[in-house]
Structure 1
């Protein structure tokens, strides 16, 4: 292979229970092959008994609760998790459950009972798996659920569904447990590497140690092949292009499969998957929200009723029924929604709203499947659908996404001189629950005809029949498991995405590591452009992916274009750091592989010794805050010449290195500097104010400080200055490659290890942790907070003002603390605000309240925001108190700022109160706009929210 090495395919693999290592094994084949559709709305399981010579794919009916005390077997398991209330727990149990009843259920009962008690129900866990705005490994579902409900992570919720399927299977096949069969689990074709790894993690939690992955559109096409075993060859011919349009409850997946000739005479065909669309959280959930918003608008117009959060949840559930009914073939002219009232209005009966077929069509068909031109592209503005905290696609128009996809990929898999093969989709296969509606399917085919037909051309794409959209993916997964055994028709599914490692910032340049033509089991070596690997320090490179640049070759250097490439988590390895001067560099190349289960592995290989270092996806950083490294903004906001950098190093050494160290390193020319003079000296060295130092220089200075960390022990003054400068150089704890490692090194060297008990050292350490809080884990933040919170209760007025100020500022900056802890701190701050003895502390308390109750965290996951009700209450108290401090308007804005997410936004009454108060205080118009319309803070406002200056080129992640 040009610019790469193609290795033989691997044998069957096993997923190690220890660390996800893929080890070759050669076990005897199990009796059953099983396909599992782990869907957003429904799960399904299908299987093949390989002992049957005339084998077929069968559906496994899943026993489940359908109501309290009632068990039935259904062909699908709804992807809902419900925690029972105390009154709902009975002694009844599923056949495989232990004697004690379990306080939760999944499936039909979880869906139906949960629709009446949405605060106890988890839904759309699969969509959360692909959401990088939250910590997907954290327990936060149900999103803003009831206070007494146990929270679960998206991974754990997915594992519950898989565990139920496994238990049901094992009960019916005690001699052939599921974890000993060949299991194929489906996922969206557009899932990124983190979502794939988390899916595997969910399977491991459920006790499934040996799994393979297949993309859902491929599985759907395999199901079509299986249904047409006798005649599929009559329905396709070489040169055709097949579009698989898969729109489920949570995602839209677009895939192109090209039919290519095979055999000596070209009279046979092969299927090649040649393109995959980008990940879109866009599907039936969005359509339900749109119908609910239509109904809510009519309710407000009819009766001026403001729906509560629980009523809104029930309305969304009702909207699902509206969607399914009104998109069906024999729909009624009108649909009436009955919504129970709450509080005093209960006496007036339920709320009713009637929706006409025309209104539903306008909302669903024109809103999600409008007729657009072939050249149109999706709108990248902020989505209006933020109801559940999920980052729904900015543009809900599926047809616009489809037009862009086909414009980019309709010639994928063709040579430039190939004019015989189709560049329009001759065949269309629909899949996913949304595509059940005939009207939706018609909109897609009408669009394709408009884009690729001609006025006098009767051409229209042929729709491939798919009678059971709810079971197709599971059936196709089971069929694919048989294909892996050499039976059935194989789809040559190339990767469909090219992977790149960023190797330069000026200009941004990437090295192609895995081409889009790669298939599972292949390995590649990018040896044409050796890299320098620094030993004794961590190595981290941003990773990029493109679904449009499929012709790039391994080892080719490619300019990074954001319109063609999307960032992935960086890949990194952290070696033990030696003395800075002892570091060495090796010449390495990058080897990459695409595993049989669909995950990417990468290694640094020493070209001389052959030693290899595993490069792991930095999943923690993508779950939290570190994707800014892909922007290169931190690294490229000023490159300082080597002489200036060395002068800074000498100045730091002159302050913190001992005379003996300087003598040992033969540096007598370095002049000693007093700790209180170091900043001035560094400003002279750089000929600039410290606020103008670029991140690249700041991180270099941090490294020099770490080289001489022992020098802080010379005196309390040395320690205070060292801590102050280290925090300044590392703020905000993210934004530059390898900041994760830098923060961990700082924590290891400093936390709990102050050399002096002086107040100045304590205060400076508080400032340092506040400045780099964005790089601290939730566990580290909890370690910092616990003793400080314990010391605050009833003692704020007894702590010295400067230390109390820094304690409050630090606690408010710890955005990974739990919602409960933030709420308790905010309530305490409001109480302390009203104490006369805390008058000088008021500005800090107000600033802290704003950070604790903000609607948009700076770096923290969205699931740690305090509830809108709490924020609304704080707004009322602050407006009533009306303290004179100038920071009050900023605090109000943070508490009331509009996000578009109903579960984060304060009530309309609180927002009106905040807006009117800001106007009365003559606050900037921009502040009022942030409250009434939403938007982002400007740079000065960001610095005020952050509580410190920001390094050049680094912006707060959430604006």
Structure 2
């Protein structure tokens, strides 16, 4: 828990230094390219210039380019040897920070097209991917086995470090870390992505930066280019659209032109007077859309593949996508050819004979891109929801690829935003500034302008919005960032930009309601205090704060309570914390209020402040809720839970678990009395505890709602020392603790509960007997989804030692539960999953292990599944290994167990058959991702085997067509009943 009163290096500004730095530096940290621009403030003419970045363009060729492609490549062994031989060029590049086996920039881009499993691309899109742990090492997605993976943040830091090192080599007396550095990001980046961008800069050796949104930077670049005449090109009342379509995102921004105001003294005090000058106000930003050049590459590749006899395997598909990127860039450039050819070499022994040549015409590209992404639609066109058809690259692409639909929706929502009733403000787009590599195409620009003309032209069929031209769309954002660094010093023209998004904190589940924390018109440096909702929190007990953001609800004020509407509001990662108060250790509760702040660099701060501390009512300001910092406060910073975006902890926003039943304090107290009667007073036998709880609650155990279960968990933790009374007490305590916390996620702050359980139990079992050991394994299996990667790895090391040494008797409950726990550890590295899966397959061949067959089959199904129950997709076993596992499974006698013909048969044949069917379904279930789907021949074999096993028809549909398991099937996969309202993902 950090205190906000301590200064943070990334939030300090140039005013902290005695004299301003010599250079103003702007960095476009792009999805496809990075650009570095700067202004030398000591020069006679202060001009924005572009820095030529030295980089490897081949193994042994070093050149300087105006752009640094945003690609990271790990060299092969042969490439490393060739690079080592190029001593002279390596000496020339002594200033580059790239390790010998890694490259960023042009060579990375080119080499990665041939070896896509070694290439990190679109790191910026991953940085904003709220469905993964963005700080974990998961790139390259579906990378080669010998490639060391990096997190999206680390990949971004690598590009920034290369730029910093190259700059420092040229300006040793003025290192970049000591200059005014501005880094750009999409206007629609969420708060986690913004904070990770700051963290990436710090990791790259740039601890003191400012952030600016890319559309604003692009407009600043236009202002810089038109220093002498921009006042003649705009007029008061106009509405300017900045449409930025880059490699990974579509970013939409509206800027209004308003009369500038000055303050003059009069008889009644200072008054605001409008002058003849104009001022630009950024009034709206669009939703975050992962929809850009990457999607165009995929569409061109899909269209080309459709002309083949069959779908390409995964690696060749990756090479086709890389080739499609080159086709797109060629066909979107002026003077494009009428057609081009894509060459795909064969693989292995068929290197030449299996090669493919595909002709792509300019007409085909126009059809795919213009009709697919920029169709002519009416202004009232609706965006289609759902899931994108592009699944192979792992990113959450926008479901509807029609950018014109997203533009229409954005303009419908905001065309009246910021309209001044005292002036004739335009409700139509008067001026358009295009930015981003996709919009280099004149045909795409024309299509967008045509749509705007039809939407807003009305009866004037000749009206068209004016286009503000930019000579180099790929350089404009960095140039505008460098210009903005000058603006921060008081030079040039400033865009007045408020937050343009409203932030909310959820305060109730039924009905779902939230309180406004930060208004859309917030300015950097403002603080807001929500006095209208004082809270009383227990010290040391975890609390959860579900957060929401809206780019359409722009009129709500701090303290306003509103109904949550998912069509207008987007869930952010929740904030989880447990307060600690050193000043009042004995106090069990603390009265607090929520305080929020918009920092100077555009990040959001959320704090718990002890009630009575901080600002007074007069300092807060009753009109807008903004507050000025006053005396020292006791406050705690609440950090966004990045990891929680992986889990159903994110369901705290929807309340899947909590909504299944709210339990009153009297009921929880009754449960606690029953638990104390067993563990504290010793009045009742442990074996009777569950029955007594069911009787007291008048509810069967499977009907206990999650909130009640978590209350039982808290009661059990309070009596934890008494589990040592006897082996029976400890076994019952372990069994009920795991049951009450299953599946380790799904209720707010379950991550905290799981970490507490780990701290209490791992390696600390009191009674070393078979029953207690088995119950411990059951507990870890039940809450495995809430365990971290490291915790699962620790469990796996113990399991591998026991399961592979043969120390556990096959017929023992401990062996059965050990295999089931192994199958539940979905966050293990693929290599560990393969080791355990192969060991399970070997056990299936042993007749004396028949009692283990159901557990072994169940574990194999979980470990080799195509779609994990809760784990990340990047840890799914690859298709080649999965196919090998399938072949062994299909020839295994256990899978061909006949139906029971006699009650005297042993080994539960019906259970073996049903578990085998479930395992085969998980292993071959279709997910429409060629990196995970088995080939058609494998799936056909599975379908035949499922029919022989009399598997449910739904299993056959899942294998043939894909889909979701129903609740009962999910419970079979989980290996236990699921709490009400909680589903596996």
TM-score with structure 2 setting the length: 0.91
Aligned partner of 1:113 among 96, 107, 111: 111
Compared with structure 1, are the counterparts of its residues 697 and 73 closer, same or farther at alpha carbon in structure 2 (3 Å cutoff)? same
1:587 aligned counterpart, secondary structure: strand
Count matched residues: 926
Secondary structure of the equivalent of 1:793?
A: helix
Match of 2:763, SS? Answer: coil
- In 1, the alpha carbon distance for the partners of 2:925 and 2:854 equals 20
Q: Does 1:74 align with 2:78?
A: no
Match of 2:626 in 1: none
1:168 and 1:624 mapped to 2: Cα distance?
40
The equivalent position to 1:527 in structure 2, one of 531, 539, 544, is: 531
Q: Residues 577 and 705 (structure 1 numbering): CA distance in 2 closer, same or farther, change over 3 Å?
A: farther
Q: Report if aligned partners of 2:384, 2:399 keep a CA contact under 8 Å in 1.
A: yes
- Structure 2 contact 550–569 (Cα < 8 Å) conserved: yes
Partner of 1:145: 143
Q: Which residue among 392, 398, 401 is the counterpart of 1:393? A: 398
Asked if the contact 2:404/2:448 (under 8 Å) is kept, the reply is yes
Mapping of 1:423-502 within 5 angstroms? 423-502=427-506
Contact 1:15 1:22 in 2 (8 A): no
Q: Which residue of 1 aligns with 2:284?
A: 275
Distance 1:743 1:695 in 2: 14
Q: Does 1:951 align with 2:979?
A: yes
Alignment CA distance shift 1:98-1:142 (3 Å): closer
Shift of 1:919: 4.0
CA distance in 1, matches of 2:422, 2:751: 49
Alpha-carbon spacing, 1:212–1:359, altered in 2? closer, same or farther (3 Å): same
Query: Partners in 2 of 1:15 and 1:35 — Cα distance?
Result: 21
Question: Is residue 737 of structure 1 aligned with residue 769 of structure 2?
Answer: no
Within the candidate set 108, 131, 134, 1:133 is matched to 131
User: Larger deviation: 719-728 or 901-910?
Assistant: 901-910
Q: CA deviation at 1:430?
A: 0.8
Do 1:35 and 1:45's aligned partners in 2 also have CA atoms closer than 8 Å?
A: yes
* SS of the residue 2:814 aligns to: helix
Structure 2's unaligned 5+ residue stretches are: 262-272, 614-632, 898-912
Could you tell me how far apart the structure 2 residues matched to 1:735 and 1:182 are?
A: 44
Residues 180 and 313 (structure 1), Cα distance of their counterparts in 2 relative to 1, 3 Å cut: same
Q: 1:553 aligns with which of 553, 557, 574?
A: 557
In structure 2, the partner of 1:777 is: 788
The runs of 4+ residues in structure 1 deviating greater than 6 Å are: 20-24, 98-101
**Alpha carbons 1:514, 1:592 under 8 Å: kept:** yes
Displacement of 1:141 in angstroms is: 1.6
Alpha-carbon distance change, 184 to 944 in structure 1, aligned in 2, over 3 angstroms: same
Distance (Å, rounded) in 2 between the aligned partners of 1:343 and 1:103? 24
Output the CA distance in 1 between the equivalents of 2:161 and 2:111.
21
- In structure 2, the residue matched to 1:202 is 200
C-alpha offsets along residues 805-835 of structure 1, whole Å, 9 cap, x if unaligned? 1111111111111111111111211121121
Is 1:685 the counterpart of 2:701? The answer is no
Name 1:938's counterpart in structure 2.
966
* Closer, same or farther: CA 524–265 of 1 in aligned 2, 3 Å: closer
Q: 2:569 — aligned with what?
A: 565
Report the secondary structure of 1:905's partner residue.
Answer: coil
What CA distance in whole angstroms lies between the structure 2 residues aligned with 1:359 and 1:512? 49
1:915 — aligned with what?
A: 943
Aligned equivalent of 1:905: 933
CA RMSD of aligned residues (A): 2.3
Shift of 1:382: 1.6
What is aligned with 2:268? none
Q: Is the 8 A contact 2:31 2:246 kept in 1?
A: yes
SS for the counterpart of 1:909 is: helix
* Aligned-partner Cα distance in 1 for 2:942–2:415: 51
**Matching residue of 2:101:** 103
Counterpart residue number, 2:737: 726
Q: Taking structure 1 as reference, are residues 21 and 892 closer, same or farther at Cα in structure 2, changes over 3 Å only? A: farther
Which is worse superposed, 510-519 or 325-334?
Answer: 325-334
* Whole-angstrom distance in 1 between the partners of 2:761 and 2:462: 74
Whether the 8 Å contact between 2:237 and 2:423 is mirrored in structure 1 is no
In structure 2, the residue matched to 1:337 is 342
CA distance in 2, matches of 1:99, 1:438: 38
Partner of 1:131, secondary structure, is coil
Unaligned runs of 5+ in 1: 1-9, 660-671
Which residue does the alignment assign to 1:321? 326
The farther-off stretch of 779-788 and 335-344 is: 335-344
Superposed, 1:704-719 pairs within 5 Å as 704-719=715-730
SS in 2 for 1:176: coil
Greater mean alpha carbon deviation, residues 79-88 or residues 640-649? 640-649
Q: Does 1:602 align with 2:606?
A: yes
Distance 1:235 1:827 in 2: 71
Shift of 1:576: 5.1
CA 54–357 in structure 1, closer or farther in 2 if over 3 Å, else same: closer
What is the DSSP-based 3-state SS (H/G/I as helix, E as strand, rest coil) of the residue aligned with 1:267?
strand
Q: Distance in 2 between matches of 1:414 and 1:575?
A: 44
- Corresponding residue number in structure 1 for 2:269: none
TM-score (norm 1): 0.93
Match of 1:626 in 2: 649
The 8 Å contact of residues 98 and 104 in structure 2, kept in 1 or not, is answered as no
CA contact (8 A) 2:339 2:359 kept: yes
Aligned counterparts, 1:646-665, within 5 A: 646-658=669-681
